[in-house]
Amino acid sequence: MNLIIDVGNSQIKVAVFKQDELVDMETMQIDALLNHVKKIFKKFDNIGHVMVSKVGDLPNSVLESLKVYAPVMMLSRSLKLPFKNDYGSPDTLGVDRIALIASASANYPKKNCLVIDAGTCITYDFIDQQGHYKGGAIAPGLKMRFKAMHTFTAGLPLVDSFELRDFIGTNTQECMISGVVNGTVHEIDAVITQYQKKFKDLTVILTGGDSHFLSKRLKSSIFAHPNFLLKGVNCILELNKH
């Protein structure tokens, strides 16, 4: 069995896999990680490998503590990957995007796939049916857009709840919500349309923290996978076991 730890910009996900099957998953903050890992190893005493995917901060002391339980491997671009990387600057490609493309390669082989990760940022990553990763795009996520309007203006409030009642806002907060939510939804639909015009039989995967909120509003046909990145990290771990 494998233990997968995904350290994002705002939270940490800890998952247990039996081969390619997800059997346990929890989301938490950094201060709860080690206590939870201790409980995980009591519950699953046959975990033999750990892989950490890190885009957010994780102290070295925590990494060293993890090594007490099992060998720890850090996800990096130098590992064996299940796709051909055609990215123009491979050394700058984030491990989160590497994991997402690995997951697309494993779950949708020989298909043109666009993976949209709606988290702190919204990333778009494309892998073609020959298994070549071509790149994509990066845009601000929903919360980042609200925070930017609050930070860079004198009078706009910080919006932390963004349920859209109507596309016509009747007060300042509703106008901000309409602008951000509608703008983001139309942006994602437009990007999907661009790819569909260029690539036949496109498979679109939506994942990330805001995927459930956005999936209900998108016109395009998508597959929503909340744990898509975790599956990609596990896929890479399986490829690199010694």
Known catalytic residues? Answer: 96
Closest CA to 234 of 111, 86, 126, 82: 82
In the DSSP assignment, the letter for residue 200 is T
Quickly tell me which residue has 């697309």 as its tokens: 104
Q: 40 near 16, Cβ under 8 Å?
A: yes
Q: Are 141 and 124 in contact (CB under 8 A)?
A: no
Handedness of CA 86, 128, 191, 143 (dihedral sign): negative
> Can you tell me the distance from the alpha carbon of 80 to that of 101, in angstroms, rounded to the nearest whole number?
13
Q: How far is CA 17 from the centre of its chain?
A: 17
Residue whose structure tokens are 């009747």: 170
Nearest to 96 by CA among 241, 235, 233: 233
DSSP 111-131: S-EEEEEESSEEEEEEE-TTS
